[in-house]
A and B are shown apart, each in its own frame.
Chain A
C-alpha cells in the first residue's frame, strides 16, 4: 500500500546532539512538508520542498535543516541550535494535480530531550 513512513516512532536526544528524523513516501508525490506539533498549538510548518534539490523555510525553521536528494525522501535534522525540540513531528506530502485534494500525513515521530 502507498503511504508515508516516518521513523523512528520515538526518539530521545541528549542535550547538544543532532538527530535526524526520517520521512519516506511511495506515493510519487511531488511536494513534502515537515510540521511540528506542540500541545495546544496546532501544527506549525518547519520546512517544505516542492521539487528535488530545492526547499523553503516555513514559519519555525530556526534550529532545523532538511535535504531533498530523492523525490521519495525528505529527512529532517534537529540540530543543537534548536532550544526546545521536544515535540511531535509530522511529515506530509502532496501531488501536484489540478486543484488541491489534501495532504497525506505520516504517523509521526515523538522527539524527547533527555
Chain B
C-alpha cells in the first residue's frame, strides 16, 4: 500500500522567514502525482502546489516551491517570505493509478509576528 510520511508534526517560524516542510512517500509506480494541501483554521482544504512525477522540473507557485527528489521519494515544500496567513496544517498527498488520494499525517505550521 502507498504511504505518505510527514516527519514534522509541528513547526514554528518568524514572519518573513523561509520554512521547509518534509514529506516522503512509498510507491512502486513510476508515474504518479504529488500535492501539498493547506488546511487553515476554517478547515477548508486548499491546494497549494502539485507535481507530476514524470516532470523533472520542480513546481513553483509564487512563494511556494517544491524540491522533488524522485529517486529518494522525497517531496518537500518550501515557503519563502512566510506570512501570518500561512499559519495552517499542511498535508502532503499522493495519487497513482488507482486515483485514490493518500494523505500524510500533516504538519502544523505557525507563523509568528
Chain A residues at the B interface, C-beta cutoff of 8 Å? 31, 33, 35, 40-45, 48, 50, 58, 88, 90, 92, 94, 99-103, 105, 107-108
What is the bound-complex CA distance between A100 and B52, given in angstroms?
A: 8
Which residues of chain A are near B33, meaning CB under 8 Å?
Answer: 99-100
- A31 vs chain B, min Cβ distance (A): 7
Instruction: Report whether A43 and B50 are in contact in the complex, using a CB–CB cutoff of 8 Å.
Output: no
- A50 vs chain B, min Cβ distance (A): 7
Partner of B45, one of A31, A45, A105: A105
What is the bound-complex CA distance between A48 and B105, given in angstroms?
A: 20
Provide a sorted-by-A list of 7 A–B residue pairs whose CB atoms are within 8 angstroms.
A35-B103, A40-B105, A40-B106, A42-B106, A45-B100, A50-B99, A103-B47
Chain B residues at the A interface, C-beta cutoff of 8 Å? 9, 33, 35, 42-45, 47, 50, 52, 91, 95, 99-106
- B94 vs chain A, min Cβ distance (A): 11
Instruction: Report whether B99 and A101 are in contact in the complex, using a CB–CB cutoff of 8 Å.
Output: no
Partner of A107, one of B42, B99, B101, B102: B42
**A102-B35 contact in complex given A42-B105, A50-B99, A94-B99, C-beta closer than 8 Å:** yes
Instruction: Report whether B45 and A100 are in contact in the complex, using a CB–CB cutoff of 8 Å.
Output: no
Instruction: Report whether B43 and A42 are in contact in the complex, using a CB–CB cutoff of 8 Å.
Output: no
| Chain B residue nearest to A33 in the complex (CB) | B101
| Chain A residue nearest to B100 in the complex (CB) | A45
Partner of B50, one of A58, A88, A102, A105: A102
